[in-house]
Amino acid sequence: MPKKNPKELISKSMDAVLVDFRADWCGPCQTMDPIIEEVLDELGGKINLLKLDIDKHPQLAQQFGVRSIPHYILFKRGKILWRKGGILPKRDLEKALKGFT
């Protein structure tokens, strides 16, 4: 099965997709990785995760107005449901995403 490009996943996915705008060199992004995985696990896989390296996809970062990382945008069928930048405490992320499951 061919891998869908990120733009397609964002615009066509019927499930909620949390896009993690990040970079390998970003310390705060690394800090958030286990928190995001834990929260999404606890939500029972109802939200998919798409990690997007801004160095490899600068046009997408620009298109969605991402000016600093980490930055998170929750999409469903191409519509933005929620967005937030920076390091988030686990309970804040959980609370925010729970409303969309």
DSSP lists the bridge partners of residue 52 as 21
Rounded to whole angstroms, the Cα distance separating 87 from 35 reads 10
Q: Which pLDDT does position 11 carry in this prediction?
A: 86
Which of 23, 26, 35, 43 is labelled catalytic? 26
What's the pTM value of the predicted model, to 2 decimals? Answer: 0.92
Token pair 């998919």 is found at 48
- Tens-digit pLDDT profile for residues 3-33: 568 888 888 888 899 999 999 999 999 999 9
Find, among 32, 50, 44, the residue nearest to 89 by Cα. Answer: 32
**Is the Cβ–Cβ distance between 81 and 100 less than 8 Å?**
yes
For residue 58, is pLDDT > 80? yes
Residue 40 appears among annotated catalytic residues: no
- 61 falls in which pLDDT band (50, 70, 90)? very high
Which of 17, 29, 66, 73 is labelled catalytic? 29
Name the token pair of 52.
């997007």
Structural domains for the chain:
14-98 (3.40.30.10)
Residue 26 appears among annotated catalytic residues: yes
Kindly state the greatest CA–CA separation across the chain.
36
- 2 falls in which pLDDT band (50, 70, 90)? very low
pLDDT mean over 71-96: 96
